[in-house]
Amino acid sequence: MTAAYGHGDRWVIERDSEDYPSCVRELSDAPQRIYGRGDPTLLGRPALAIIGSRVATPYGIAASQMAARFAVEADVLVVSGGAIGCDQAGGLESLERGGKHVIVLGCGADVVYPRASAALFERTLAAGGAIISLDPWGTEPRRWAFPRRNRVIAALSLATFIGEAGLPSGTFSTAETALELGREVLAVPGSIFSAQSRGTNYLISEGACCIADEASLDVAISRIFGTLRRTAAHTGAVPTRDPAERAVLEALTASPLRSEDIARVAKLDTFSGLQLIGSLVVKGLVVQLPDGRYGASETTLHAQTSFGHNVSNQTKR
Within 10 angstroms of residue 22's Cβ, the number of other Cβ atoms is 10
Question: Does residue 37 share a domain with residue 175?
Answer: yes
Q: Is the dihedral of CA 203, 206, 211, 212 positive or negative?
A: positive
Question: Does residue 178 share a domain with residue 286?
Answer: no
Q: How many domains does the chain have?
A: 2
Question: Does residue 117 share a domain with residue 260?
Answer: no
The pLDDT value recorded for residue 234 is 46
The pLDDT value recorded for residue 314 is 36
Question: Does residue 212 share a domain with residue 274?
Answer: no
Question: Does residue 217 share a domain with residue 264?
Answer: no
The pLDDT value recorded for residue 307 is 39
Question: Does residue 180 share a domain with residue 34?
Answer: yes
The pLDDT value recorded for residue 1 is 39
Length of the chain: 317
Name the pTM for this structure: 0.80
**Does the residue 233 lie in any domain?**
no
Question: Does residue 117 share a domain with residue 45?
Answer: yes
Q: Judging by beta carbons within 10 Å of its beta carbon (0-12, 13-18, 19+), is residue 107 exposed, middle or buried?
A: buried
pLDDT (tens place) for every residue of the chain, 317 residues total: 344 555 558 999 999 999 999 999 999 999 999 999 999 999 999 999 999 999 999 999 999 999 999 999 999 999 999 999 999 999 999 999 999 999 999 999 999 999 999 999 999 999 999 999 999 999 999 988 999 999 999 999 999 999 999 998 889 999 999 999 999 999 999 999 889 999 999 999 999 999 999 999 999 999 999 988 876 544 444 567 788 898 899 888 888 899 999 999 999 998 898 999 998 998 889 999 888 899 888 888 887 655 344 433 433 33
**Does the residue 304 lie in any domain?**
yes
Question: Does residue 154 share a domain with residue 34?
Answer: yes
Indicate which CATH number applies to the domain containing 265: 1.10.10.10
Contact predicate 60/161, CB 8 Å: no
Within 10 angstroms of residue 206's Cβ, the number of other Cβ atoms is 11
Residue closest to 150 by CA, chosen among 245, 90, 229, 83: 83
Give the type of residue at 284: G
Distance in angstroms (rounded) separating the CA atoms of residues 20 and 282: 51
Per-residue exposure over 135-157, b if at least 16 CB sit within 10 Å of its own CB, e if not? beeebeeeeebbebbbbbbbbbb
**Does the residue 112 lie in any domain?**
yes
Centroid of chain to Cα 150: 14
Residue finishing a domain among 196, 225, 254: 225
Question: Does residue 309 share a domain with residue 180?
Answer: no
Contact predicate 80/132, CB 8 Å: no
Which residues contact residue 149 at a Cβ distance below 8 angstroms, ignoring those fewer than 6 apart? 81, 104, 105, 106, 133, 134
The pLDDT value recorded for residue 8 is 59
> What residue numbers bound the domain in which 12 lies?
5-225
Q: Are strands 5-7 and 10-14 parallel, antiparallel or unpaired?
A: antiparallel
Question: Does residue 201 share a domain with residue 175?
Answer: yes
**Does the residue 82 lie in any domain?**
yes
